Copies of this chain bind each other. A is one copy, B any other.
């Protein structure tokens, strides 16, 4: 029984394809694990919708996730993690890891300001409204001041592949201004799409403030958390050959492959892709 469970895949759930940044971090850190990715591309983005609608969508995807018989679910979407983590935990029979706590913990660790930490979080409007980030920092026992800035335009910018040039640079600058005014000393990218704009975020913050701050990308924080959990629960695979990645999406438009490649940071190769109608 234990053995069977160890060979089950790690499931990763996201509202769209942004969570493939988490898959990239997972396969780098845990190359022998199988990964099955579920992306609700038919209803992306979640971050600009009401909490009730995000709950409804997570519930609809839970059925699909149950069928994957995974050993662990990683909710790569910060909006779902902020709004629907407990309902998902009730609906699934395996452990569910959210994106908020690993990111918050990594930001606290990265900030060198200790008790004077002032952490700026870029997030979607739904994540901001949920209050999940301030709550997560408080739960860590951190006294950090947390400022959450909604940055809704960064999702479509990344989805369209506008990762360099004046348009993303000026958009990032607009969103960073209030955080510079708050004098933050660490930045947390609170959405799976944002790591692709990480370098621009770093450069624009320095240009606006004259200071450098650590920019924390929750994809790597999540992968580290998964590794620690597999070790502590003795849930890691026993195989000594590379794991397989499967992708399941609810809509596959023509732009799918170029978008997926962008988030994965490599060509799809032998990754299987299935489109299902929810």
A148-179 vs B, CB cutoff 8 Å, 1 = contact: the mask equals 00001101110110100011001100100000
Which stretch, A21-29, A42-50, A229-237, A264-272, touches the partner chain B?
A: A42-50
Q: Note all chain B residues with C-beta closer than 8 A to A181.
A: none
Interface size in chain A (residues, C-beta < 8 A)? 32
Is the Cβ of B50 less than 8 Å from the Cβ of A129? no
Is the Cβ of B49 less than 8 Å from the Cβ of A42? yes
Task: Check if A253 is an interface residue, CB within 8 A of chain B.
Answer: yes
Nearest CB to that of A47 among chain B residues? B253
Copies in the complex: 2
A104-120 vs B, CB cutoff 8 Å, 1 = contact: the mask equals 00000000000000000
Is the Cβ of A125 less than 8 Å from the Cβ of B166? no
Is the Cβ of A167 less than 8 Å from the Cβ of B156? no
Q: Note all chain B residues with C-beta closer than 8 A to A56.
A: 277
Known: A167-B167, A174-B167, A277-B56. A251 touches B152 (CB 8 A): no
Task: Select A50's contact among B126, B171, B252, beta carbons within 8 Å.
Answer: B252
